[in-house]
Structure 1
């Protein structure tokens, strides 16, 4: 009987999540609790309540930067403009009393074209008369150093104040005032008969600005307050867990914790979505919410926050939605285009009894009229009306070191976890598990660095959680000012050195930039390089930049952007370059570089999302023959230099373009698991030697639930588990044993004793396992021979031997026994064979012992 795991109702569709690894949130002595989680669409659509929607605009920097040269030429508009247009259009339907922008309005502060794009977008709200706040992020000020504050700026020279200064803010309904710098403001909005205060603090508020903010709160002591700023909480590399930030703790200690009015905060800056709740000095909860989608597809793909306050039901429902996605042409949609993001921290509900929470400072707070439907549902209806999009992309962390998708055409795969963590000695090698291109640490004396030290390179187990290798190699103390660097290299004769990838390629790796990175010490450093000198390539045109650099290199710019530069097979085309957005320090990311021969385009994917600026008219790579691949340093002017200040995880090179389901961040499917097992009651004397089935190659199949066993699925997708118990002695086994089988545990006796046998089967990779196959079967007991049972004997009517001995060898007795059991000593077969998905074969060996004739 073929069994497969039971079918379950399909899980809710999940949106795109960024990748990376994480650590537990450091509480730093504060009380941290997880907000109550529920689905954002709980409310009954027809049930009226006292509700309103706060709209939140996270970092719009890339929308402004690429409005003129990317978005408008391709779509006729940009995401920022579409966001504000949609909010203005549906203001009444969603009962939106206020819109909060979280900063990084533009990407490059001194480019007027970006400010023009931002101006056009926000002007839509101005014309609609919608109350809003806007604040400066680190990209919106001319000097964003952490040790500079808003009082250190030359205010007259700041573009932010020229475009979004206090004179513009004064025209916004609900504007209350600004601090002397103009970077910090407050607003009051009314919703459902109640007033709320929004305190919008710009990048790096000074002590004077925080004192101004305290004065605002003191002047409005009864108003529940929402604090918005650009940087407050961070997010761990697991893309889920909140992490405390030094500047955020400054705001907490000096302003938030001592003011019970502040019950909710929003910030951007750190790429991703997370939240946590902590107790203030009054013992009340303050919830911090991070929203920032700039590293997602198309610089954020137009995602904004729709935050529904349900004053009567006592909850805040958050959903992440994109008006931009639903207005794109159908033919332009990709799997990244989802109207809603529904992964962790992207759609959820917070429980809050507003009257109780505000009782200490606003005892007269009331719920307000119950005149609004579920605004969360209204927003979903508006965005989903007529939209037909592709399925989203989902991700799972590996369950073991073997839990990755193997791909034909892999020409190199470097992993660092096999040798354990610790310093890397000079000359120490790391195996290429797919080919013959082992990496070795180049001796310091041969490296070209006069300042490198043996301890500058180490293997660590702090790795991206989506890397099944679980380890990385880290390069410390790299500094181009002191010429300190170290690196690994392949041997000069490694076959991968000479590959030109004329059918395209995929190069993927995991990278982390050390928190000590600075532009002065580490700008334009490289992580992975195909070393050589591009000026020596036949037909290479002269270039002002990188003319004597290597033919291909992945590194980081002076603005913390990943850069992939390469010279295609047709050398005369010159170099081609792909660029990411800003990379957050001390954060693991996955980078995939995919060169598609069908489109002659190289696309850089960061955490699964394609970047906006990619190389075109490029196929394969031109190389200097016999030059090694280098990990940890650049190679320019025929020498190594400018080392990588950070870590490199497992890295793989494939000789053709691949898709995300084949990357190192993907997991082998556990679907198609099946087994051929006995069912019901087997005849007396049956034996069950083994269970076989089909599964995922490389997965471990585990048998539990009464029976025990384990097997690894082979390359054909087949597996086999021997059953029974180890033989007591020799081949003969013990009593009741009639068949033997050889498995991983040695000689085993097949199941033969009467009884009920329950089982549970799973396949998987370590902690990631399939749904179980469960069941049971019974081996019947042999019928009692009347001639040997109680009272048997002459005249007992049992048909026994005249002398009363069991197993009589008389002719009559022998004929009777043979007629009921088959030929003496022979096997009467029960084979339940085959079938199974994925081309695998299954076999359960079930046999019935011939009962020996009584003597």
Structure 2
């Protein structure tokens, strides 16, 4: 159950019922499962100043206990990989306050890895060379040394480094004292230098403050950290601090010309000292975004009808500095210190087996695409393609390209500059005696190709064809479709950029048609049509589309005419051609599981 489902469950609770529990059976199971270090989506929990919850004889740790129960319950479902506290754990830094805080933190010891750092209320003053304190006795390196994420700490014990794995890579978190010394800064630099390809998040208590509009500015100490550590280390992409309120954020540009996100989170001025409020930073490397939300689990768990006005208004904060998204192309942002490792081209032998009917790719040495040139079928079955330009076509209408999908076996493609008004384009067709022209595929099939639509998507390209079998459906005895002049099988693009796969089955007069969502522009995608001998299902980037008809579709009513890449015929004629890139194209005489698609997991 995710957080929003938990909110809905809380809202739906009976007015006279018990308090909604934070730890359920499924929550306990999730805790046992732990976090997923390979998923492209994970969360880091950020816990700012809790000092008013540990304030001499006014202390009340229950809000923080509720927060920790929430983290334990949601760790697996939300994929929470780490929690970081931003300092000012306590109000006075006394042994009594720190002992109570330390006892409260034991709820997550060994269950959720975390970091803690000293704020000005936790220690008597001075830099991290201040010596032994009650804070250090409770939250010194000994507390973290058994955590799998702990790397090391400074000799004084006030600064620590934590290395975690998430989204298939490592991330470094530096938890720095609120007044880090020159020696501490030198240590931080050494830690970064020992992890030269790891993105870094800097957490500390005092780095930036914000105005009432939420615009953040570096404080005097923050300026020192920026000048001495952050600006020259391109690995640092995010900083988090508390201390000041209101919360705020800013995007600064480092010396390498890259963005550094500077965020302030502090809610001690809110009702009940912030009530153990947390932020969740949801990293999504698939969508290239960090989604941030701020809420109070203590209030969230309460019966809605029993919440006070102040509790109800503090459950979740939705202002621009509390709930927001940061767009970040992680690969591009980290390329300067961690260039992406691209898969090498795969030879045809790795993607061709006895079930492969045809396989075409465009990376042959010296491959040309002038009219009458040939692209070989690498299965050896003789389904070679011959190039032909359509009316209005020029040399630039079809040309080889080094563009390719990251998961494509061949690191090459063809660029088609087709269009209408006036019609132009180019096609690649099998010869008159190719076996694939008449193959019925009664036992099932998989058709795969890689596509990329240009950005911007300029001109009128409505109903452009991607690939098809030539042949009038009427000649195959089919009368149920849009027109007897349309081909018996084609993959096209609608004016809304929806994929349309229409096939006239060999058995019966039926033509079930699949429709996709709007295809994106400017990025590669993989399309697969899978037929198991009963019905067809279209997949885009390893995801099954919604509009796959349940009607039977057995075989393809081929008529012995050519298989074509780059256009769809009408009454055996071709007008406009495809606009964009087409990469490796493979046809297999059986239904393939998505794990066996050409991208081999690179979706």
The TM-score normalised by the length of structure 2 is 0.49
Larger of the two Rg values belongs to structure: 1
Give the TM-score taking structure 1 as reference length. Answer: 0.35
